[in-house]
Structure 1
Amino acid sequence: MTATPAAAVPQRTDRRALVSWALWDWGSAAFNAVVTTFVFSTYLASRAFVDPRLVAAEGTSAAATRAVERELAQNAATVSTALTVAGIVVALVAPAVGRLADSSGHRRRSVLVATIGIALSIGAMVFVAPSQPYLVLGAALLGIGTVAYEIATVGYNAMLGQVASGPKTGRVSAIGWAAGYFGGIVLLVVLLVLCIQDFGTPGVAGVLQLPATVATGQWDVRVAIGIAAVWLAVSSVPLFLTVPEAAPDRTQTGGLLGAYRDLGRHVARLWRERRNVLAFLVASAVFRDGVGAVFTFGGIIAAQVFGFSASEVILFAIVANVVAGVATFLSGRLDDRFGSRALITVSLIGLVVCGTAVLAVGTAQIGFWVLGLALCVFVGPVQSSSRAYLARLATPGREGELFGLYATTGRAASFLAPALFGVAVTLTGSTRFGILGIVVVLVAGLVLMAFVKREDGAAAVPRVGG
């Protein structure tokens, strides 16, 4: 497969390359939906990793109940520590990895290596048995997978310019995000039917009719994780066979240390010559954290405030992904017509309004369904248009470096929404008011976007790297 010149912008979108590129997003649902959101992280946070003697005694005495709660809190802290360390690693290495991929012309190779890392870490999660000694292993694998996933997205996002022409950047970015949502829907349904959902039949976990050891070995969850690893691996193959490498940027050399030195010079030049790029990186770091919290804490609010059962939460998650996927797909044309900045701003306003309205609907489930799905209309377009905006601002041949900074700034602000959610809940004594913490972060991102300029003429900006 030959390389394409890094500075060349395709005049037409290669449909085959586009489909192959979007399939990676489709496959990445194995990590986003299954590992970090609905299955593996939930498994690690469950009573499966609490001393079984305490679980058996739970409810018989206040002391036993408190002991279970303490162990659950410690387990959550273990997982949180692993993810914190992963975030620090990503913040330190993502920009340099992106820069090295640009300079060497091995952008696709960097995605391949990182994708193999994701698949292997997910596959290894199958061996995390429901026992306390395995908790650290599970948390470590979650952290390793997170690092690999974030590194992969740096090169993957940078490849957007290789599969989309300038006028269609927003549309193509939206197709990728929508593919990720729909991939999550399909994979979750497959896993529920095959492995997890028992449909009220005692001793039977899904169509596969896993053995009785499911109850003690959690093989329903562990087999589901194995299927997710295969899903990711198979879905990723077309990207590496179809989308060509970009030509190397020979203006920068010097290996890893040289990449960090060049990164420092690049940031300094951005500050002097293209402060709008830095303004967007800061703004997007803030509002992306708020957007991510909408999904992270949406299930908690649904269960604790609106009385959703576990199955109702999963049903809501599937419908929410459908709504988000359709809205994201349709938003692509709006992005290309009105600009990414305009779509981001409108979507953030929609998120703030709908999020605030959750406070005023009482405890009626229909109210949460309406407002929750309304929130999902705006979530995908914000994420998709953010990627498209940055792709338009990127200097040809330096996309990987810029998306590395994008990953780093996002990680640097990833504590905001969870922290403010916790503060709001603690001060008010009600989970419902946790939404205020998320809304504050979204408002802050909206205010920061006021300092970001439209991307008109972004393709014509001079190179800032020398």
Structure 2
Amino acid sequence: MSIEMARSTGVAAIDDRREQVGWYFYDWANSAFSTTVVTVFLGPYLTAVTRRAADADGFVYPLGIPVAAGAFFPYMVSLSVLLQVLFLPILGAIADYTHLKKHLLGVFAYVGAIATMLLYFLDGGNYLFGGMLFLIANLSFGASIVFYNAFLPEIASPDRRDAVSSQGWALGYLGGGLLLVANLLLFQNAESFGVSSDHAVRISITSAGMWWAIFTIIPLLALRRRDPIKRIPPGEHYVTIGFKQLWDTLRKARHYPQTLLSLGAYLLYNDGIQTVIALASQFGAEELRLEQSTLISAILMVQFVAFIGALAFGRIAGWLGATRAILVSLVIWTSVIVAAYGWVQPDSPTQFYILAAAIAIVLGGSQAISRSLFSQMIPPGQESEYFSLYEVSERGTSWLGPLVFGLALQFTGSYRVAILLLLIFFIAGIALLLRVDARRAILEAGNVPPAKV
């Protein structure tokens, strides 16, 4: 159906450029939360607030439980992930039985944005207030991403999906990077602006919530409501059908072995990717003895180079197919790990920048193409549900890479050995991905494969 015919009949069209651009802007909107809040500012600030509230032994007691002040923020991250594991599949199943996907995207986006803005009032020793707001914001962030991803099969045809996914991811890096630049300028020149460094942090965190809220308006205006393929059975309620559909999906997933194999490959190599992202700064500071200013500038560079890399891998997927494009990115990832182990030297910012640029080139591309490939393998009408499993599975295994890194560091005392062991995740991911018959997986799900997969 053409876009013009779809609009005249009131049916939402695929490959409507206006709708796709609107969809991109949710990546632009929410990336401010992950970069400014989670990656840079909130962890150190909330930890400082928690330490002010701690006793002489360095402990706080939320709900009477003794928690080391330095561990409070990581525990909040873990708890928010656990809640996502429990709730996201249910929300996904409910969304697939209703026409409320856009509404649920908006609700969770604004709950998360408001919770983030309220962090402006985090001061003194009120660590529990900050922890609860972060818990709400991060849970809402994860929920909104499920509904956002679930729109991808509805707005992009199979042959356009890699490019659309990559463009959304690229815009996210650009938006998150631009706001982070502004916030770092404020933080580093706080006295010139007449504010304390703590106040500059609170302003920066609040700006991320405002950015998230303001730019979410664009996708909510552009995305069109679609009637669900599945209808709720008589006598059922949306909540109860959510639990039943989740169980039914898990039970029937064995009928899609290639989809499960692809998901398994993604969980392995993405765990390696997430571990590198989380620990690169620590590796740079502790092993390479780099200044904090070098690490911050490298983070900023990654944001903008990743914008170019995500767009480039959208093109590469168009030439080679999504599976080969992902394999190319994973080969580069393994090369980066080997270089970090044996090539980059201490006190060498130039080498670290080269390594960071190589990571940035494949960072967005490997994740964006993985998302679009998985979207092809989802049975029609179950987009939100399968993407909730995608999100939950990713978060449910994201502790494995840091655990391997931490154990290797503890037993060998070497950051280089610890980072080298992350090759396990990339090599295992490549091995599984090579066994995936993507075209067969797409056909098994009842979808039409693109010309190149």
1:419 aligns with 2:418: no
Deviates more, 1:110-119 or 1:423-432: 423-432
Shift, 1:309, TM fit: 1.7
| Residue type at the aligned position of 1:87 | V
- How many residues are matched? 429
| Residue type at the aligned position of 1:401 | E
CA contact (8 A) 1:173 1:385 kept: yes
Q: Find 2:220's aligned residue among 211, 233, 240.
A: 240
Q: Find 1:265's aligned residue among 248, 253, 265.
A: 248
Question: What residue in structure 2 maps to residue 352 of structure 1?
Answer: 334
Equivalent residue runs for 1:210-221 within 5 Å: 210-211=194-195, 214=196, 218-221=198-201
SS state of the match for residue 161, structure 2? helix
| Residue type at the aligned position of 1:82 | M
Q: Structure 2: any 5+ residue segments left out of the alignment?
A: 1-5, 62-66, 448-453
Shift, 1:52, TM fit: 9.3
Q: Find 1:173's aligned residue among 162, 165, 169.
A: 165
Tell me how far apart the structure 1 counterparts of residues 142 and 54 of structure 2 sit (CA, whole Å).
39
Question: What residue in structure 2 maps to residue 124 of structure 1?
Answer: 118
SS state of the match for residue 226, structure 2? coil
Tell me how far apart the structure 1 counterparts of residues 202 and 323 of structure 2 sit (CA, whole Å).
42
Q: Find 1:197's aligned residue among 188, 191, 216.
A: 188
CA contact (8 A) 1:417 1:437 kept: no
CA contact (8 A) 2:49 2:126 kept: no
Question: What residue in structure 2 maps to residue 110 of structure 1?
Answer: 104
Tell me how far apart the structure 1 counterparts of residues 209 and 223 of structure 2 sit (CA, whole Å).
22
Shift, 1:460, TM fit: 7.7
Tell me how far apart the structure 2 counterparts of residues 451 and 113 of structure 1 sit (CA, whole Å).
40
Tell me how far apart the structure 1 counterparts of residues 405 and 135 of structure 2 sit (CA, whole Å).
23
Question: What residue in structure 1 maps to residue 313 of structure 2?
Answer: 331
| Residue type at the aligned position of 1:238 | I
CA contact (8 A) 1:339 1:454 kept: no
Q: Structure 1: any 5+ residue segments left out of the alignment?
A: 55-63, 199-203
Residues 88-123 of structure 1: CA distance to partner in whole angstroms, max 9, x if unpaired? 211121112111111111111111111011101111
Tell me how far apart the structure 1 counterparts of residues 230 and 49 of structure 2 sit (CA, whole Å).
53
Residues 178-232 of structure 1: CA distance to partner in whole angstroms, max 9, x if unpaired? 0111111100111122x2122xxxxx445xx133xx15xx101001111111111
1:321 aligns with 2:303: yes
Question: What residue in structure 2 maps to residue 429 of structure 1?
Answer: 413
Question: What residue in structure 1 maps to residue 89 of structure 2?
Answer: 95
> Structure 1 residues 53, 232: CA separation in 2 closer, same or farther (over 3 Å shift)?
closer
CA contact (8 A) 1:160 1:173 kept: yes
Tell me how far apart the structure 2 counterparts of residues 205 and 188 of structure 1 sit (CA, whole Å).
18
Question: What residue in structure 2 maps to residue 24 of structure 1?
Answer: 26
| Residue type at the aligned position of 1:50 | R
CA contact (8 A) 1:99 1:398 kept: yes
| Residue type at the aligned position of 1:19 | V
Tell me how far apart the structure 2 counterparts of residues 89 and 437 of structure 1 sit (CA, whole Å).
30
Q: Find 2:365's aligned residue among 359, 381, 386.
A: 381
Tell me how far apart the structure 2 counterparts of residues 165 and 115 of structure 1 sit (CA, whole Å).
26
Tell me how far apart the structure 2 counterparts of residues 39 and 365 of structure 1 sit (CA, whole Å).
23
| Residue type at the aligned position of 2:154 | Q
Tell me how far apart the structure 1 counterparts of residues 378 and 226 of structure 2 sit (CA, whole Å).
14
SS state of the match for residue 184, structure 1? helix
SS state of the match for residue 68, structure 2? helix
Tell me how far apart the structure 2 counterparts of residues 44 and 97 of structure 1 sit (CA, whole Å).
29
Deviates more, 1:149-158 or 1:275-284: 275-284
Q: Could you list the structure 1 runs, at least 4 aligned residues long, displaced by more than 6 angstroms after superposition.
A: 67-71
Tell me how far apart the structure 2 counterparts of residues 92 and 105 of structure 1 sit (CA, whole Å).
23
Shift, 1:68, TM fit: 7.0
> Structure 1 residues 171, 205: CA separation in 2 closer, same or farther (over 3 Å shift)?
farther
Tell me how far apart the structure 1 counterparts of residues 380 and 94 of structure 2 sit (CA, whole Å).
15
Residues 268-311 of structure 1: CA distance to partner in whole angstroms, max 9, x if unpaired? 2220x211111222221222222112221111111222222222
Shift, 1:457, TM fit: 7.6
Residues 18-39 of structure 1: CA distance to partner in whole angstroms, max 9, x if unpaired? 2211111011122110111011
Deviates more, 1:449-458 or 1:102-111: 449-458
Residues 423-462 of structure 1: CA distance to partner in whole angstroms, max 9, x if unpaired? 1111121333331243322223222323322246826843
CA contact (8 A) 1:9 1:161 kept: no
Tell me how far apart the structure 2 counterparts of residues 389 and 33 of structure 1 sit (CA, whole Å).
25
Tell me how far apart the structure 1 counterparts of residues 271 and 340 of structure 2 sit (CA, whole Å).
19
| Residue type at the aligned position of 2:274 | G
- CA RMSD after TM alignment: 2.6
> Structure 1 residues 263, 53: CA separation in 2 closer, same or farther (over 3 Å shift)?
closer
SS state of the match for residue 105, structure 1? coil
Tell me how far apart the structure 1 counterparts of residues 398 and 23 of structure 2 sit (CA, whole Å).
27
Tell me how far apart the structure 2 counterparts of residues 205 and 135 of structure 1 sit (CA, whole Å).
25
Tell me how far apart the structure 2 counterparts of residues 336 and 68 of structure 1 sit (CA, whole Å).
54
Question: What residue in structure 2 maps to residue 50 of structure 1?
Answer: 51
CA contact (8 A) 1:416 1:441 kept: no
Residues 119-156 of structure 1: CA distance to partner in whole angstroms, max 9, x if unpaired? 01111211111x3x322322222222111111101110
Question: What residue in structure 2 maps to residue 458 of structure 1?
Answer: 442
